[in-house]
């Protein structure tokens, strides 16, 4: 029986609104093949939070957490054995794509494409649930239909979880943000975060919306 645990979050946004949406959209996953390691990392993140004087509900987020604290977070998590997979879309390459006018469609599709590049076998997957209850039901149905075809059962459980309650979804957020920042060459810290996790990245795939 598989013991794979997967935690997924994104960076940027899945929209195509001119002048408002991000140029990149990143979906990243942390894969644990040993649940014990996931438990140890979860505990380490909680201890790091407490060392900062933060309460349990205080969330680590790449977009809002200070640079110093993000670097400290990455220093903590680099000690543990896990793998990173990610997909990204450079939306600037597709100024006339209308099939994804609904943000949720691009979000669901990139989630599916991310899980498809991973060597999953009856994995337990958790994704950040930022889009509300209706989205939770729709994405669960979509992922199960798209991934578990034929005899293969890549995903055993798929759950949409509030990231405030899950340290390892917060881990995925920091990973996705670090990868996204590495593509932003106009930022002075573009390579400061990725260096902590570069050796954990197994696959980083550019998605071609023109082939969708």
The parts of the chain modelled with pLDDT lower than 70 are 1-2, 15-22, 92-102, 130-137, 149-152, 210-212
| Neighbour-count burial of 120, counting CB atoms closer than 10 A to its CB (0-12 exposed, 13-18 middle, 19+ buried) | buried
Which CATH number belongs to the domain containing residue 170 in this structure?
3.30.420
- Report which of 27, 199, 201 is spatially closest to residue 116, judged by C-alpha positions: 27
Range of the domain at 56: 5-211
Number of domains in the chain: 1
Q: What is the pLDDT of residues 145-183, one digit of tens each?
A: 777 766 568 888 888 888 988 999 999 999 999 999 999
């Amino acid at each position: 029986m598989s013991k794979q645990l997967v935690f997924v979050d994104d960076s940027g946004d899945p929209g195509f609104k001119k002048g408002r949406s991000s140029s990149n959209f990143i979906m990243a996953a942390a894969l644990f093949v040993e649940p014990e390691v996931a438990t140890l990392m979860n505990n380490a993140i909680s201890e790091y939070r407490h060392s900062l004087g933060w309460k349990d509900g205080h969330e680590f987020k790449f977009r809002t957490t200070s640079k110093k604290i993000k670097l400290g977070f990455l220093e903590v998590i680099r000690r543990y054995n896990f793998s990173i997979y990610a997909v990204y879309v450079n939306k600037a390459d597709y100024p006339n794509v209308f099939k994804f006018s609904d943000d949720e469609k691009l979000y669901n599709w990139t989630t599916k494409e991310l899980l498809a590049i991973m060597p999953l076998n009856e994995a337990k997957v958790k994704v950040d649930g930022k889009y509300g209850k209706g989205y939770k039901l729709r994405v669960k149905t979509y992922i199960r239909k798209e991934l578990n075809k034929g005899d293969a059962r890549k995903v055993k459980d798929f759950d949409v979880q509030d990231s405030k309650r899950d340290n390892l979804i917060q881990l995925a957020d920091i990973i996705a943000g670090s990868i996204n920042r590495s593509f932003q060459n106009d930022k002075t810290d573009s390579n400061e975060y990725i260096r902590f996790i570069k050796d954990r990245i197994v696959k980083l795939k550019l998605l071609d919306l023109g082939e969708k």
